[in-house]
Amino acid sequence: MTVTAERSTPVLSHPNDRLRAARSGALLAVVGADTRVPLIDGTTRTYVNLDNAASAPALERVAARVNEVLPLYASVHRGAGYLSQVSTALYESSRQTIARFVGARQDDVAIITRNTTDALNLLAGCVPDGGLVLVLDLEHHANLLPWQRVAATVLPIQDTVAQTLAALTIELARVPYAMVATTGASNVTGEALPVEAVVRLAHDAGARVVVDGAQLVPHRGFSLAETGADYVAFSGHKTYAPFGAGALIGRRDWLDDAPAYLAGGGAVREVRPDRTLWTTVPARHEAGSPNVIGAIALAEACEALAALPAGALVAHEDALRTRLVEGLGAIDGVDVLHIWPDSVKPVGVVTFNVVGHDPGLVAAYLAAEHGIGVRDGRFCAHPLLARLGAPSGAVRASVGVGTESEAVERLICAVQAYITTGLTARYVVVDGCWAIADDPRPLIQVHGLLGLAAQAAACTSTSG
């Protein structure tokens, strides 16, 4: 019996899904878009999620797909039952969908991982012995520390994109590198070197290229075939599928030759007490029971993004980013961080500081007094923050397919209000983080979500 994973009708009517999202100004409908949160003044407001770069909310379509397949869920690969075969087919077809989404070539392989960090650590263990890796100092720690463990040169970025590419060229001519690890988009400023240019330089010098696609793939799309990159890694929870799966996609040979990432069941052909014969990829690096639901969710998100009209994703996020940069940049006392003056098409991540103010306090104010969720800190990119003159951190706003233009306006107004009116509550530092002193809002405890929802419903509502 062959069980296929094709489905006859989509979980959600895609045009309707888009229509509903369009009415609200979002590109695609996400779960929880109408959630209201309690403010410190006793009112509630619709939550503004401007922290998509950290973790993005699930697409409604992804949540519906997960609900649809949960009754079919059973053990994969070695189960004899009918549902095991259905689940296996769903898992394997999800792998193909994910690979297709990033333009995998015929011979490429997709390995389901936990996230980007997991994928890059996996690949680090596959660099042939003695292979050196070249990386720039703008990277997220996930694309820096795994290479430091192997053997990495960390090249300082230069004042412009052009100068940085020139420095890369010189370094690649100086030392024979096995690989260049480059970000597809910085999680701090949204900027990056043009991937095609990096690939050309690296390949000319005999090096491979891995693209950290954590911030690029969900917001721009990406193609291994078109860029010529050798590997790409990305995360489901940043791609509107927060169910614990990510992926590494790329060339098989190093992956097939390397020791299994995890030693365990599923990664082997034959085990004897004294010797193990390991299998080939992808199973070689997927020991243990795989995250079937996570892979299905990620594949669904990939399909939803791939089905968007050409250019819609870029246009939506570019408009939001442009308004953020202009709006925040126009406020006296706000400094928007940029790496280079000649960057091309950064993704929708905008990091700023209110000069002279602790970014943690600004972020706490935005949350408690305006219901806006942003991120503050050094964003797992300590070397870059130091280079950008923000060694103590900054505030980051990041958009996604579920972001409405009103969210961006609310942030700009709130930052302006912070500067003109200032804090209306008393804030203290607790365990290194800014928080409201004697916050009367319910703490989230074991059953805190219900408490929070009940409290939010009981509070006087304000518009918007």
Name the residues that contact ligand PLP, by CB under 6 A.
53-54, 115-117, 140, 142-143, 183, 187, 212, 214-215, 235, 237-238
Q: From CA 295, how far away is CA 105, in angstroms rounded?
A: 20
Please say if 380 is a catalytic residue: yes
CB nearer ligand PLP, residue 241 or residue 436: 241
Phi and psi at residue 228, to the nearest 5°: 85, 0
Shortest spacing between CB 116 and ligand PLP, in angstroms: 4
Query: Which phi and psi angles does 149 have, rounded to 5°?
Result: -70, -30
b or e along 28-39 (b: 16 or more beta carbons within 10 Å of the residue's beta carbon)? Answer: bbbbebebbbbb
Least Cβ distance, residue 381 to ligand PLP (angstroms): 8
Question: With respect to ligand PLP, which residue has the nearer C-beta, 40 or 142?
Answer: 142
Closest CA to 122 of 208, 55, 210: 210
- Tokens 């095609």, residue? 196
Minimum gap (Å) between residue 55 Cβ and ligand PLP: 8
385: its two tokens:
């923050």
Structure tokens at 161: 């994109």
CB of 238 vs ligand PLP, minimal distance in Å: 6
For the bound state, the minimum distance from the C-beta of residue 349 to ligand PLP, rounded and expressed in Å, comes to 8
Please, which residue, 55 or 158, has the CB nearer to ligand PLP? 55
Q: How far apart are CB 452 and ligand PLP at their closest, in Å?
A: 25
Minimum CB–partner distance for residue 146 and ligand PLP (Å): 10
Output the smallest distance, CB 214 to ligand PLP, in A: 3
Give the shortest CB-234-to-ligand PLP separation in angstroms: 8
Q: Which residue number, 55 or 280, has a Cβ lying nearer to ligand PLP?
A: 55
Query: Of 380, 413, 433, 459, which is the active-site residue?
Result: 380
In contact, 455 and 440? CB cutoff 8 Å: no
| Closer by beta carbon to ligand PLP, 18 or else 321 | 321
In the bound state with ligand PLP, the residue whose beta carbon lies nearer, of 117 and 351, is 117
CB 78 within 8 A of CB 280: no
Nearer of residues 142 and 331 to ligand PLP, judged by Cβ? 142
Nearest residue to ligand PLP, scored by beta-carbon proximity = 187
Under the phi-then-psi rule, with left for phi > 0, alpha for psi from -120 to 50, and beta for the rest, what region is 221?
Answer: left
CB closer to ligand PLP, 28 vs 119: 119
Residue 156 CA to residue 168 CA, distance in Å, equals 9
Q: In whole angstroms, what is the distance from residue 28 CA to residue 188 CA?
A: 24
The packing angle between helices 359-370 and 405-420, to 10°, is 110
User: Which of 238/316 has CB closer to ligand PLP?
Assistant: 238
In total, the chain counts a number of residues equal to 464
Active site residues: 380
